[in-house]
Every structure is written in C-alpha cells, then in structure tokens.
Structure 1
C-alpha cells in the first residue's frame, strides 16, 4: 500500500479554556478543521487537593450537533448529563457522546482522583455529525479500557487500542455515525507499525508523549499534530522514543459548518434555534448530586 505524505504539522498551542490550561492542535493557524474532525484539546491537569471534586473540572454546559469524545490517559472523568447518565470512566477508557438535538453535561474528576495520583490527562475531540442526524436523540457511550479491543505487534513494542472503526480485522466497541477510525497508540522505542485506512478518509496523528517518525523520515514530537494528504492508503509509524499517540481517520461529510461556542450546525438559522432551545430548557436540566 502507498504511504500517505504529511500535509501539515501543527503545534498544540497552550491556551486557557475557562480557567483550565489546555493545548489546542485543531483548529490551528494551518487548518480550521479536518472534516469531520472539528477540534482537538489536550489537557493535563493537576487537581488541587483542597478542592471539592464536585466543584472541579467542567460544570454543566450544553452541546448540539456533534460528538464530543473524551479519551482518558490518566485519572478519570465523571460524566453527568441531562438525560440521566452518571458514569465514571478511568485511564484507558473513552466517553463518546452524540449530542444530537441537545444535551447538558458536566465533566468532573472522580471522587478517588487523588488516590489515582491527582492528575487528569485527556484529549477531547469534537467530531461533526451529519446534517441528517443533528436532531437525533442524544446518546452517551462509555467504554472502559477492559472493554476496548487491542491490537499488539508481535515484537511487543506496539499496543493499539481500537476505540472505533477497524484495524486489521479488529473492530472497536463504538460504532460512529459515519465511517471513522479512532486509535490510541502506545509504542516503545524502536517499535514500528503500518496503519492502513480508506483512501477517501482525512487523517491525523497527535503525539501526547515521545517522538515518532512518519514513514521513517519526518519527525512528529510531543504536542504536535500531523495531518495527511490524500495520496495513499496508510501511514508507517516508527517510535524514536517511548511514545503515546491519538490517531483518527474519517470520511469527510462535505457539508457546511456553522458553529458558535457549544453548538455546531449547518446554517445560521439552526444556530440561533440551538441557543433559543437551550434557553427555553429544551435540552433538559442537569442537577449534579
């Protein structure tokens, strides 16, 4: 299979997001979006010991029209929402939510976060929803590390969690609304692996730790995201150091995107309707307990 070449490499710019230090690799100065991927935030937060976890993290806020997906690399996240879901997912797990017509949720540290080391490291990725499904009923899909299928290389140097989609015949636990592959990849120095995917997909790799070589020549260090040209059917990844990566590939929707804050729709009227419906209580009420 022909290897894809890199189109851009973007740095995850440090920024403040409502009082939380995060890195934003998408959107960047090099790309507004990578259809269907809209936003990538990488957070590595130390939870203060003197703060009640019920007041830590991110409080209730609404979403409509896309899937906010949280990949948990350290600690855990307690998700609560206006549909009655209350669930904790720990390190190695994923919280996938299709916001659909609208939902209010919060993302707090779990009660035992300090027993786990007091650190939350996670990536939140926003994935666009097709126009035909933006007003579907919301769905919350928690998947633990134990319930996430894994692909291991024969040399033991590469471990790949198949969160969604498929890799070499192994299918993820989560079935997205459109053709998407999501992998969390852990590689020891010297490990190498070729990841195939559809020629029509857009694709990215974000490095949380370490440094990898793409196609054995271009370096991708920690906190950088590579996106790829549509000129092949896969990517060769080689670890120059022990590394942790998030990789996504997806079929572009090729639909108009109009977004503001927590809502992603197809036109300005729909966006105004989202704000109106939220203010009228149509996305429900979240009372945290």
Structure 2
C-alpha cells in the first residue's frame, strides 16, 4: 500500500529582481541548498513588457556540469549557443540544454517581442548531472507547445516534458531519467503521482493555491518532502504546478557561479577552460 510523502517544510520564493525583471527564487535559500538533483529555480515574472523594451538581460554566459530546463509560460524566448543551436520558443514551449563539458549561451527576447512587448513569465530549473556525465557532449532541444504531449483528466492537464505518464512519453529524452511536467488545474482538479520512493521530488506552486498531501500550499512556495511513495495535488483554485522527480545523485556538489562540479579543482578547471576559449 502506498504511503503519502511527508511534507517537511514549505520554502517561500525569495524576491530577487534582476534589473526590471521580476524574479523569485525558492531554491537555493538559507535553509535549503538543493532538492537532491534539482539545484536552482528562477521564476521570472509574471509581468508585462511595454513596447520598445530592452527584453531579457541574459546575454552570453557559460555553463558546465548540469542541465538547464526553461519553461516559457508566457512570451517568447530566443536561445543561441556556442554549439550552433538556435531557436525561438513561444508560450507553452520548453528549452532543455545539456551544458555538459561546456557551452556559452544566451537567452534573450526576440526582436518582435522587444518591439511589441506583452506578457512574460518564465521558469528556469537547473538539474544536476552525475560525475560520469558532467563532461558529456553539450546538447540542446527546443520544443514548442504543440510538441509536448498533454494528458487531460477532469479539471487537470499534465504537460509531459520528459518521462512517461499514463502510456504517454514526454517530448524530451532525459539523459538521467528525469520526469518533468507542469500541471494546470481548475478548482477541484486533482492529480496523484505514485512510485516516488527513493526519488528526489520537485514541486513548486507557480500560480493559485493547492492542497498537497492534505497541506495547503499557496503560490510561490516550494515543497520539501521526506519519506513516502505518493504525492496528491488538489487545486483549491485555478492553479499551475511545476512537478518533477529524479534519481538521487549521491555525490558532492560544488557550485560556483555558472558551473556545478564535484570538487573545487574541477571548478578552477572550468574557469580556466572557459577563459582559454574551450567552450566555443
């Protein structure tokens, strides 16, 4: 018989704007460095950009040792990197980048968005890679909303980014078997995920209010779970929840700036390689 996962704590997202970009960050925070393999989340927006705006401020910068998963809930996002990947992803789409051995990339607003403006809301999640994959070949996949399978039940829609759910397979094949979704819920909508024993579970309420395993969770809160197999999410009002799970990576995490490795020496090497132009 499945047992509901115990909720240890709720972690409210901390407001940490980047210039005029509204930004909230639930992890890391003073009490929590990471949720297992899930290292970092920035929640940008929601906000509305005026016409003739400067757009997003994320010009060229490097990464090594992990993956970025970017959910474009509203607006448009242009990606370009030193591996030759380039795309513009619209609302409802996802960008999944494996930094691996090293990439320089930029995530900016496309010209049409800067000219016209409009609503913008974006989530970026960092997912760790194990030591055996930290120096893997960099890769990038951008998928539009209509490429992401949706599974709809009464008052609930699961957008299946990666992994398997009710016979469907996600749009992106994760190197490490990460299951990742976002879930839209109408009042009374309910979703149950089972089989989560010994998995790192990431659950962040983006919009609305929900009850998770019987505990009320308001928007902009991250849930930290303990033991158990099952997560039961029920909407109090119209809600959106970012939900995923991953196999634990039981290795040291040494993070500095844009690099996430296992030792300080590997961090020093990452900076040296980037400065030597080895990221392309």
| Shared fold, TM over 0.5 | yes
Q: Could you tell me which of 214, 232, 238 is aligned with 1:236?
A: 232
Which residue in 1 is equivalent to 2:146? 146
Find out whether 1:21 has 2:14 as its counterpart: no
Find out whether 1:176 has 2:155 as its counterpart: no
Measured in 2, the distance between the counterparts of 1:240 and 1:114 equals: 36
1:100-159 deviations in whole A, cap 9, x for unaligned? 110000001123326886222111000001101111110001111111111111x2x000
CA pair 86-239 structure 1, distance change in 2 beyond 3 A: same
Superposed displacement of residue 16, structure 1:
2.8
- TM-score, normalised to structure 2, is 0.94
> Contact 1:100–1:137 (CA<8 Å) still a contact in 2?
yes
CA pair 202-132 structure 1, distance change in 2 beyond 3 A: same
> Contact 1:76–1:91 (CA<8 Å) still a contact in 2?
yes
Which residue in 1 is equivalent to 2:83? 83
CA pair 106-131 structure 1, distance change in 2 beyond 3 A: same
Which residue in 1 is equivalent to 2:52? 50
Measured in 2, the distance between the counterparts of 1:235 and 1:91 equals: 27
> Contact 2:51–2:116 (CA<8 Å) still a contact in 1?
no
Superposed displacement of residue 204, structure 1:
2.2
Which residue in 2 is equivalent to 1:205? 203
How does 1:80-229 map onto structure 2 within 5 Å?
80-113=80-113, 118-153=118-153, 155=154, 157-215=155-213, 217-229=214-226
CA pair 197-111 structure 1, distance change in 2 beyond 3 A: farther
Find out whether 1:64 has 2:60 as its counterpart: no
Which residue in 2 is equivalent to 1:11? 12
CA pair 253-279 structure 1, distance change in 2 beyond 3 A: same
Contiguous gaps of at least 5 residues in structure 2: none
Contiguous gaps of at least 5 residues in structure 1: 285-289
Measured in 2, the distance between the counterparts of 1:3 and 1:167 equals: 19
Q: Which consecutive segments of 4 or more residues in structure 1 shift more than 6 A?
A: none
Measured in 2, the distance between the counterparts of 1:170 and 1:8 equals: 32
1:233-256 deviations in whole A, cap 9, x for unaligned? 221111000001101111111011
Find out whether 1:274 has 2:276 as its counterpart: no
Measured in 1, the distance between the counterparts of 2:174 and 2:231 equals: 22
Find out whether 1:35 has 2:39 as its counterpart: no
Superposed displacement of residue 198, structure 1:
3.0
Superposed displacement of residue 205, structure 1:
1.3
> Contact 1:187–1:242 (CA<8 Å) still a contact in 2?
yes
Find out whether 1:253 has 2:243 as its counterpart: no
Measured in 2, the distance between the counterparts of 1:116 and 1:213 equals: 38
Superposed displacement of residue 230, structure 1:
2.2
Measured in 2, the distance between the counterparts of 1:94 and 1:213 equals: 26
> Contact 1:8–1:30 (CA<8 Å) still a contact in 2?
no
Superposed displacement of residue 179, structure 1:
2.4
Measured in 2, the distance between the counterparts of 1:218 and 1:80 equals: 41
> Contact 2:53–2:114 (CA<8 Å) still a contact in 1?
no
Measured in 1, the distance between the counterparts of 2:108 and 2:86 equals: 11
Considering only aligned residues, what root-mean-square deviation do their CA atoms show, in Å?
Answer: 1.6
- TM-score, normalised to structure 1, is 0.91
CA pair 198-38 structure 1, distance change in 2 beyond 3 A: same
